[in-house]
Amino acid sequence: MDEKQFRRVSRRELLKLTPVLALGAFALPAFQQGLLKKGLKVSDWNAARLFRRDHLAPTFADAEVAPFETFPINGYDIDDPGIDFDTWTLSVSGAVQKPGQYKLMQIQALPAKRQNTRHICVEGWDVIGSFKGAVLSDFLNLVGADPTARFITVNCADDYYESLDMATARHPQTLLCYEMYDRPLTREHGAPLRLQIPTKIGYKQAKYLTELRVTHVLDKVGYWEDQGYSWFYGL
């Protein structure tokens, strides 16, 4: 076998071994975390490219909505961080023309949207619920959000935090939700204000909102994402 044939065979054999080498790398603890992070990054990038702002999540008739009492209460820490509703405000900052403290009545003064949509949890359960609130895009217009900004971040009274790409934040079904089942949010479900995003997995829908920031660059991503979960996680 001449040198040219040897190189051709060697290259072919190396390609055959590539999947084995990749699996071997995943088996090595030193490589696992980096490879998983790169894999999630690629997955999030692809998902973001496929996201269509005009594509709506399914909505349902009132008769299909699960009873309020059966809607699961889920949180990462506590079910009631003890917010004083009388003094609560949403602090808005970052790339906006009108930063400041916004009261719930100012958010409720925006056109309200009621929608029956499916809430899907990463733990494996899902439920159809009824939600009402201001479309987040309308609120971003109210505060004069920079149209070139790429993200919003939110902080919560229970120290949870999350972020959204701007296309999701401005999706017509993304709500600053203050009611469930035609009644004010209960403390357990995130009162006085939470995100409701039927195009996203449940952990993106932060509860007990206290701060909203419009930004060009993320300084932190999200509580569960920092534990290794997907950031985009569109449905």
pLDDT in tens, 29-44: 654 455 444 444 544 5
Residues 144, 202 within the same domain: yes
pLDDT level of residue 24 (50, 70, 90 thresholds): low
For residue 232, which of 201, 209, 195 has the smallest C-alpha distance?
201
Percent of the chain with pLDDT over 70: 76
pLDDT one-digit tens code per residue, 109-126:
999 999 999 999 999 999
**pTM of the predicted model over 0.85:** no
Helix (H) or strand (E) holding 18: helix 3-27
Residues 113, 197 within the same domain: yes
Question: Is 207 a residue whose pLDDT tops 80?
Answer: yes
Which are the contacts of 184, defined by CB distance < 8 A and separation ≥ 6?
Answer: 178, 191, 192
Q: Return the pLDDT at 39.
A: 46
What residue has token string 């079904």? 173
Cα separation, 146 vs 128, whole angstroms: 34
Q: Range of 22's domain?
A: 3-46
Domain membership flag for residue 130:
yes
Q: Return the pLDDT at 219.
A: 87
For residue 113, which of 135, 98, 97, 89 has the smallest C-alpha distance?
135
Helix (H) or strand (E) holding 31: helix 29-50
Residues 42, 59 within the same domain: no
pLDDT level of residue 79 (50, 70, 90 thresholds): confident
Residues 60, 42 within the same domain: no
Residues 112, 148 within the same domain: yes
Domain membership flag for residue 232:
no
Q: Return the pLDDT at 78.
A: 73
> Residue 228: phi, psi to the nearest 5?
110, 5
Domain membership flag for residue 183:
yes
Question: Is 95 a residue whose pLDDT tops 90?
Answer: yes
Overall number of domains in the chain: 2
Q: Return the pLDDT at 32.
A: 46
Q: Return the pLDDT at 11.
A: 47
**Which of 22-36, 51-65, 67-81, 173-187 reaches the highest mean pLDDT?**
173-187
Q: Return the pLDDT at 205.
A: 96
pLDDT level of residue 220 (50, 70, 90 thresholds): confident
Question: Is 70 a residue whose pLDDT tops 70?
Answer: yes
